[in-house]
Amino acid sequence: MRAVVTGGAGFLGSHLCERLLARGDEVIALDNFVTGDPKNVAHLRDDPHFELRQVDVTADVRVEGDVDLILHFASPASPVDYLQLPIETLEVGSIGTMHALSLAREKGARFVLASTSEVYGDPQVHPQPESYWGHVNPVGPRGVYDEAKRFGEAMTLAHRNTHGISTGIVRIFNTFGPRMRPNDGRAIPNFIRQSLVGDPVTVAGDGSQTRSICFVDDLVAGILALADSDHPGPVNIGNPHEISMRDLAAWIIELVGSSSTIEYIPRPVDDPTVRQPDTTLARQLLGWRPEVDIETALRCTIDWFRSQSQMSHFPQPPLDAQRTTHILDVT
C-alpha cells in the first residue's frame, strides 16, 4: 500500500510512518516543520520506501502516482503550540483538511482524520462515548484547536456523503511516548523534564483533574485498525484508565528517582475536569484494546527523555537512583 501521512515528522506522525514501513507499506510524509522535526524520522531516511517532503498542506497537497491511504495528522496539538499559532491551527484544520480530502478524492484513497478528545470540551458526560456532542467553549483560548477539529470532522463526513470517499475519523485521547518535545506544554513531558533536572513539578490547580493516558504504540495500532477497516467513525482511541494529574506527577517523580517536589500553579482557562474514553466501539468494531502496561510505557518514555537530556548536557539524577513501584494501579 502507498500511504501519505500529513504531519509525518511530528510526534504521532513519525510513529505512524515507522509502523507503516514496518508492515511493508510505502510512505510519503508531508510536514512544514512548524511543530514537527525532521529528526523524528531521520532513522527512516535510508529506507527506499520512505520519502519526507517539506509541504504546507494549507497551500496545496499534490502527490504523483497512486495513493491508497491518507492519514491527515498535520496540526499543532499541544496547548503551547495552538495558543501561539491560533490562525495556523484553524487553517490546517479547515483548509488543510479540505486539501487532503481533495487528494483522497482524486486518488480514490481511504482518508483518516486525526481528531481529538478535545471535541468533547469540558465534558458533562463521563466517560465520553462517540455519541456525546461535547461541551466546548468556541471563543475560549482552547477553541481554536477544538473548533478546528470539529470542523474537520464535519468536512470529512460531508466529503464522504457527497463524493463517496472512504473516510474514517479517530478521536485521539491523551497519548505519550518517545519523540514528544520536552517543552511542548503537555503534562507528561513537562513532569518528566522537570523531574529529570530536579525542578519543582508544576501541577495546575489542585491536581484533581483527570486524564486517561495511552502509550503511542497502542494508539498507532488503533489508528491503523481503523484505517484498514471501512468504518467511518468517529471512533475513540485511548486508554480508559483514568488518573489525576496530582497522582501522575507523583508517580513520574518516583519512577525518575527524583528529589523534585510538586508545586501547584494556576489552572488554565477551560481546562477539562475529567477525560476518559468509552472504547466500546473500538473493541467491538476494530478488535482493538490497549495492551502496553502504563508503568512500562512511562519507564520507556522517561528513558528516552533521559537520553535526550544527556545529549543536551542537562543535569541528571544519580544513575543509581532507586526506582520503586507505582503509586496508583492504573494498568
Q: Which of 82, 120, 132, 145 is catalytic?
A: 145
What amino acid is encoded at 146 in this protein?
A: D
For residue 38, count CB atoms less than 10 angstroms from its CB and return exposed for 0-12, middle for 13-18, buried for 19 or more.
Answer: middle
Instruction: Work out the number of other CB atoms within 10 angstroms of the CB of residue 56.
Output: 19
> Which residue from 60, 224, 64 is spatially nearest to 74, judged by alpha carbons?
60
The C-alpha atoms of residue 43 and residue 192 are separated, in whole angstroms, by 24
Find the helix packing angle between 294-311 and 245-256, rounded to 10°. 60
> Which residue from 9, 330, 5 is spatially nearest to 174, judged by alpha carbons?
330
Active site residue 120: no
Cβ(168)–Cβ(114) under 8 Å? no
First to last CA, the chain: 34
**Which residues are marked as active site?**
145
